[in-house]
Amino acid sequence: MKFYEFVDKAPALGRLVIIEGTERTLADRALELVIDRALPQETRALNLERFYAPEIEEPARIADAINAMPFLAERRVVVVNDTQTLKAAVRRDLWAIAQAAPEGNTLVLCDLLSPRAKRPEPFGALAGRTALRIDTTANEAARERYIEELLTQLGATADNRVISALASSTAELAAVRSDLEKLALTHKKIAYKDLEAESLAVEDPKAFRYASALVEGKPAVAMDIAAELFSQDPRGAAVPLISALATELGMLWELARPGGMLPARVKWRERVLRPVAARVGARRARNAYERAIRSFEALVTGKIDEPRLLVEMLTAELSTLARQG
């Protein structure tokens, strides 16, 4: 079933759940809902076990986990994330374990492949009707509902044209969320011109070069670019610079996460950013991203009197990010 069918109908979970499709944002949410529905908070720590597929060396550990008895709860839940990254032999072993999963416990396979994929053959296609399948592939209607829900969470509204443009775009929902979160900081109602301005700010070529230089460990180059922009626009240069930096750090954080993948529109950045992400790690990448977001918020809400000083301090603070272990 589609993601929002799962949300609305709340079907029984059974012994095998397969989260499939290509939209990671919805896949993450589907997994949260599965866990929330399967395990009460008070017994969750004792009955939830997670595995990250690329780190699996002994599939037998997953078999042991799913066959264990629940502790003070009705069931145990075992999650295997990013199974789409597994090699064929390990996928076969994992599928054999999935087929033998006992009634009463729940094994969740997050296999982010299109249900129509041919190689590797998706677990959902193998399971057919024997598993609860949650397809996170998002059509325009699903994207529109996600956007409207997100706007409600952010305490903002948007023109119909904004919602329509984002719903019909090819951008992944993670990118849509990032854009709307930044816009909602300064706009209670987001107009189409605001969306256009945000896109232009993020895509400013000099600001982008500043951000990429800083994240790649070239602070002197980054400062030269920032100085050039401030010489042209002393008050306005900080906005595109910090916006571009937040976008770049968001990509770095995504790649530092287990199984992280970039949206197709920025996939070309992966070759450079993935080794940096491996050195930085998920925790530090997230901290850097949140630091940039806080700086952007302070800037656009007028809490900062000296925008250039803010950029210089942020640049200095992040100058060793790519070099530290």
Domain end marker among 102, 135, 168: 135
Q: Are residues 59 and 172 in the same domain?
A: no
Q: What pLDDT is recorded for position 35? A: 97
Dump pLDDT digits (tens) for 145-163: 999 999 999 999 999 999 9
Q: Are residues 15 and 96 in the same domain?
A: yes
Q: Are residues 305 and 236 in the same domain?
A: yes
Q: Which helix (H) or strand (E) holds 96?
A: helix 88-99
Domain count, the chain: 3
Q: Are residues 252 and 295 in the same domain?
A: yes
Q: Which helix (H) or strand (E) holds 161?
A: helix 160-168
Dump pLDDT digits (tens) for 202-213: 445 788 889 999
When the pLDDT of each residue in the chain is averaged and rounded to a whole number, the result is 90
List the CATH number of the domain containing 218: 1.20.272.10
Q: Which domain does 245 fall in, by range?
A: 203-318
Query: What values do phi and psi take at 77, rounded to 5?
Result: -125, 130
Tell me the HSE value of 244 on the side-chain side, using a 13 A CA sphere. Answer: 26
- The C-alpha angle with vertex 130 and arms to 127 and 132, in degrees rounded to 5, equals 90
**Residue 67 forms part of a structural domain:** yes
List the CATH number of the domain containing 80: 3.40.50.300
**Residue 32 forms part of a structural domain:** yes
Contact 25, 173 (CB under 8 A): yes
Q: Which residue has the higher pLDDT, 206 or 288?
A: 288
User: Taking the complete model, does pTM exceed 0.85, yes or no?
Assistant: no
Q: Are residues 188 and 289 in the same domain?
A: no
pLDDT exceeding 90 applies to what percent of the chain? Answer: 67
Q: Is the model's pLDDT at 222 over the cut of 70?
A: yes
Q: Are residues 207 and 197 in the same domain?
A: no
Residue whose entry in the numeric block shows the structure tokens 């940039």: 292
Q: Are residues 28 and 126 in the same domain?
A: yes
Q: What pLDDT is recorded for position 201? A: 38
Secondary structure E strands in the chain? 16-20, 48-52, 77-81, 106-110, 132-135, 157-158, 189-190
- In DSSP terms, 52 is beta-bridged to 81
Q: Are residues 8 and 109 in the same domain?
A: yes
Dump pLDDT digits (tens) for 167-200: 887 777 887 888 898 889 889 999 988 887 665 4
Q: Which residue has the higher pLDDT, 306 or 263?
A: 306
Q: Are residues 78 and 108 in the same domain?
A: yes
Q: Are residues 131 and 13 in the same domain?
A: yes
Q: What pLDDT is recorded for position 118? A: 85
Q: Are residues 131 and 151 in the same domain?
A: no
Q: Round to whole Å and give the CA distance between 242 and 199.
A: 13
- Dihedral over Cα of 289, 292, 296, 297: its sign: positive
Q: Is the model's pLDDT at 137 over the cut of 60?
A: yes
Contact 307, 299 (CB under 8 A): yes
For the residues 65-81, what does the mean pLDDT come to?
Answer: 96
Q: Are residues 190 and 221 in the same domain?
A: no
**Residue 64 forms part of a structural domain:** yes
Hey, what are 244's tokens? 């571009």
**Residue 191 forms part of a structural domain:** yes
Q: What pLDDT is recorded for position 202? A: 41
For the residues 121-131, what does the mean pLDDT come to?
Answer: 96
